[in-house]
Amino acid sequence: MSYLKTRGNRSIVLNLHSLISASTLTFLIIMTSLALTLFFKPLSITNVDSDLLKALRGYGYAEGYAVVEASKAYLLPPALKAWRFGDYLILKYRFTRENLRRIAKYSLYVCAYRKVNIIDPIGFMKAIASQELQDALREAKEYVGDAKRDFHNASERWTGKNVVVCVIDSGIDYLHPDLINNTYMVVSMFVYGNGHPLVWINGVNGTWQEAWIYEQEINRTYGVLPWMDLYGHGTHVSGIIAGTGEASNGVIKGLAPDVKLIVIKAFRDDGTSTTDILLDALDWVKRFAKDFNITIINMSFGALGPTHGKDPLSVACDLLADMGLILFASAGNDYAFPFTIAIPACARKVIAIGSISPYSSKIPSWTSIGPTDDGRIKPEFICAGVWILSTKPVTVKSYLEDVLSDAVRDQYYMWLSGTSMSCAVASGLGAEYAEWYYYVFHEYPNWRSIIYYFRKYAKRINPFFKDFITGWGIPKGIQ
C-alpha cells in the first residue's frame, strides 16, 4: 500500500499493466484447458463401439467399419472399401477423432476392426474342459455307429437331394472318398483371377484330380493352396453335413449325404480370418446364390464383440436371410456364461446353434449361451457337438490331425468337439427339411420355415419356453 501512495500516477499505469497481464494469462489458461479437455475427453457417441473409442484414445486412429443406409452415403467421406447388402452399405475407414463424429452422425453403427476365428476345438480344451473332454472322448471311441445321426434320428428318406449348402470355412479336401462326389464347387477368398475369387466347378473346369494338380501349380508360384484344407476344420464340417460314408462302408455319414456342397475357403491355414474376408465371402454368396441355387449357409466360426446384431457381419447375414437364404452359425465356445453368443450367431435372422453331448445328453461347460446384449434369447437350438466323428483331410496332413492325434480314428475320420460341429449338424438337418419342404410345397423354405419345423419336431429340454441355454431344444430328422 505504501508503494502505491508514494508513486502517485505511476501506480495507476503499473496496476493497469498488471491487470492486463493477469487477464491475458487467465484467458490463455482457460483456452489451453479447454483445448486439452476437448482433445483428451473420451468420445461418447452412442452408436459407436466402445472398442473403437478405446483404440482411438490409445493410438489416435483405428481401422473399423460403418454401417449406413445407402441413401446417405453421399454425406460420408470416401471409404477404404465398401460392400452393399440390400439397402445398406458397410464402409471400411481409418478412423480418427476428427472424422469419427461426422461418420457416426450419418451411420447406424460404427465398430472396430475385428479378427474372426474358426470356433477353436483346441483352445477351450486346454483352457477349462480338458478332463471333461477326455472323459467324453473315451465314450466316443466306445460308441458303435454314428452318434450324430443316431442322436438326431437322421432321416433315411430325406437326404438333401437337390439342396445346395454353402460352407464358409477353411477349405475342403475334395478328394476325400466321402466328399468327392457331392462337392460341386470350391471358391477361394485368397487367390483371385481377373479381380474375382478363384473358382473351380467340378465337371466344368475339370475333374477334382485336375483341380489338385492346378492347386499345386499355384502353390509353387504363390505359396498358397486356394481350396485345399490344411487346417482340417472345413473338411470335418463338410463331412458332418454331406459325407457319403464311402470310406466306412456307409457307417459314418453326414446328416444329408446327397446335398451339393459349395465350399468357400475364407480362413487361412491357421484357422484365422478377418471381417473383410468374410464380408467378401458373404458378398460372393449374395451375387451368386440364385445362379447356383444356394439354400443353406453354414458358418462354423465366430468373433467376440457386442452381440446386439448391429455389427457388419450380422447386418450382412440378416440381409442374406431377407433374400431367402437359411444361415446357421456356431453359438461359440466361450463357456456357459450369459452374453457369450458369438458374432454372427447373434444376428436376428441367423439360427444360432449350441452344443450337447450325443453320448451323455449333457450340455458341455464350454458352449456359449445367451441372451444377446439387447436381450434376445439365443441360441435357437442345440445339436450334437461333443466329439463328433467325421471326415478329415486325406490328401494333406492337417493341423488339427497333427495336434489332436488322439482324436484320429483312422486314415479317413477323426473326432472333433465344438459348436462348429453342432452348427454343421443343424445345417445337415436343415438340408433334410429343405428337400422335404420342396417335395411338399414346390419351393425351398426360408429361415422362418426351418425354425417352425425344427421347433415342431424338436425334443424340448425346457417344455415351457425358449431359454438362453437350450433354445427350443434338440431338432430331429424329419421322417
Which domains are present in the chain?
A: 50-113 (no CATH), 116-457 (3.40.50.200)
Predicted model pTM: 0.89
Phi-psi label, residue 86: left if phi above 0, alpha if psi -120 to 50, beta otherwise = left
C-beta neighbour count of 1 within 10 angstroms: 5
C-beta neighbour count of 3 within 10 angstroms: 8
Answer yes or no: is pLDDT of 104 > 80: yes
Burial of 386-403, coded b for 16+ CB within 10 Å and e otherwise, reads bbbbbbbbbbbebbbbee
Alpha-carbon gap, residue 139 to 145, rounded angstroms: 12
Q: pLDDT per residue over 459-477, tens digit each? A: 999 999 999 999 999 999 9
As a whole number, mean pLDDT of residues 314-333 equals 97
**pLDDT category of residue 201 using cuts at 50, 70 and 90:** very high
Q: Which three cell numbers stand for residue 325?
A: 437364404
Least Cα distance to 208 among 394, 461, 350, 415 occurs for 394
Alpha-carbon gap, residue 433 to 286, rounded angstroms: 22
Least Cα distance to 136 among 119, 149, 124 occurs for 124
Q: Which three cell numbers stand for residue 452?
A: 417352425
Answer yes or no: is pLDDT of 278 > 70: yes
Q: What was the pLDDT predicted at 122? A: 52
Lowest mean pLDDT among 1-10, 57-66, 244-253, 399-408: 1-10
Instruction: Using the Cα atoms of residue 241, residue 144, residue 394 and residue 382 in order, give the sign of their dihedral.
Output: positive
As a whole number, mean pLDDT of residues 334-342 equals 90
Lowest mean pLDDT among 18-32, 47-61, 297-311: 18-32
Alpha-carbon gap, residue 184 to 58, rounded angstroms: 47
Q: Which three cell numbers stand for residue 402?
A: 497333427
Q: pLDDT per residue over 416-439, tens digit each? A: 999 999 999 999 999 999 999 999
Q: What was the pLDDT predicted at 42? A: 45
Q: What was the pLDDT predicted at 421? A: 97
